[in-house]
Amino acid sequence: MNPQGGQYLNKAAVLSPLGAARLSQLALGCSVVAMVTHSAGYSGGSYGVFCMAVWCACFTVTTVVFFLDATRLHACLPVSWDNLTVAFAALATLMYVTASVVYPVYFVTAECPYAGCEVRNFRIAVTICSVGASLAYAAEVVLSRAKPGRVVGYMATVSGLLKVVQGFVACVIFGALANGSEYTRHAATIYCVVVYTVCFAATTVVVIVTVSGRTGCQRLPFDRFVVVYTLLAVLLYLSASVTWPVFCFDSKYGSPGRPSSCPRGRCPWDSKVVVAVFSFVNLALYVADLAYSQRIRFVHQSPRV
């Protein structure tokens, strides 16, 4: 113990805009989980399980982040704390937005369900709190984002935040691929899956290296590596964004229109459309990332031990 004492608790964890955003995340997240488990429910289906997993995981991680920040114990972790927290806040924003859309679509109806109007009202309240929590996480991202003249970690820059969005979009693509997309029918569509996998893996490596504070440990300068990799990802996604629609929707290889006999929710054609749309979304994200990467100057950080 330090005989001179010291400020062991971080008042800014509560008495600051960032602290207020995290307290709001905790309050709204706790309200969502409590209402779902109490009366709103999620029916045990895959969509409901997904929403509940998002809410529980985000609430748990936010609790840990708030505790470590308030006690300053994050200084003992071998990570770049600022990069870690802003990356998580960006991911939580995307996950909460997704859950805030999926839950009301599948569980909120204008009429009262068989369980009564109380259940419907609780589900509406869950949706409202979930939207509020997504705004609270977005507020943390805005408060942590890089500003002129301020030295921050890479994940707080536009390029760093785009990495999180790219990874999230890639997960949406993988989900559609796993939902009966029939990508194994053609070698060209298998190539597209390889492209999605390689780019996602490389993006994940960039995020992990940045969060761990090891950006100065590579022989190839990290800023140069990021730019080269992003350029390669643009070229790969451009090829996949052209190849996938041709081999899925051209009459020679696939079906230009949705088959009338295709069941809703388990139609391969729908999954192919999702993959095609989000391929172009990720292509646009990588192009924007490449443009912003030209303006970044990295400050290499070593993890605190």
Residue 123 neighbours by CB distance under 10 Å: 22
pTM equals 0.85
Q: Which amino acid is at 11?
A: K
In a domain, 150, yes or no: no
Q: Are residues 119 and 169 in the same domain?
A: no
Q: Are residues 172 and 117 in the same domain?
A: no
Q: Are residues 81 and 123 in the same domain?
A: yes
Grouped pLDDT means (10 residues each) for the chain, 305 residues: 55 84 93 85 76 93 92 82 89 94 83 71 89 94 72 77 93 87 82 94 90 68 82 94 86 68 71 91 94 65 47
Q: Are residues 96 and 122 in the same domain?
A: yes
- Residue 50 structure tokens: 């997904």
What 3-state DSSP class applies to 255? coil
In a domain, 288, yes or no: yes
Q: Is 105 left (phi over 0), alpha (psi -120 to 50) or beta?
A: alpha
Range of the domain at 100: 8-144
Q: Are residues 128 and 169 in the same domain?
A: no
Q: Any idea what DSSP says for residue 305?
A: -
CA atoms within a 13 Å half-sphere pointing along the CA-CB vector of 13: 20
In a domain, 91, yes or no: yes
Q: State residue 211's pLDDT score.
A: 85
Nearest to 231 by CA among 276, 180, 273, 290: 290
> How many H-runs (helices) and E-runs (strands) does the chain carry?
8, 0
Residue 244 neighbours by CB distance under 10 Å: 26
User: What is the SS3 assignment for 41-86?
Assistant: CCCCCHHHHHHHHHHHHHHHHHHHHHHHHHHCHHHHCCCCHHHHHH
Q: Are residues 217 and 296 in the same domain?
A: yes
Q: Are residues 126 and 27 in the same domain?
A: yes
**How far is it, in rounded angstroms, from Cα 113 to Cα 107?**
10
Q: Are residues 185 and 277 in the same domain?
A: yes
**How far is it, in rounded angstroms, from Cα 18 to Cα 10?**
12
Q: Count of domains in the chain?
A: 2
Q: State residue 240's pLDDT score.
A: 93
What 3-state DSSP class applies to 258? coil
In a domain, 183, yes or no: yes
Q: State residue 296's pLDDT score.
A: 58
Q: State residue 305's pLDDT score.
A: 42
Q: State residue 4's pLDDT score.
A: 42
- Residue 125 structure tokens: 């309240």
Q: Are residues 119 and 13 in the same domain?
A: yes
DSSP, residue by residue, 97-124: HHHHHHHHHHH--SS--TT-HHHHHHHH
What 3-state DSSP class applies to 213? coil
CB 122 within 8 A of CB 38: yes
Q: Any idea what DSSP says for residue 264?
A: T
Q: Are residues 170 and 283 in the same domain?
A: yes
Q: Are residues 277 and 212 in the same domain?
A: yes
**How far is it, in rounded angstroms, from Cα 288 to Cα 286?**
5
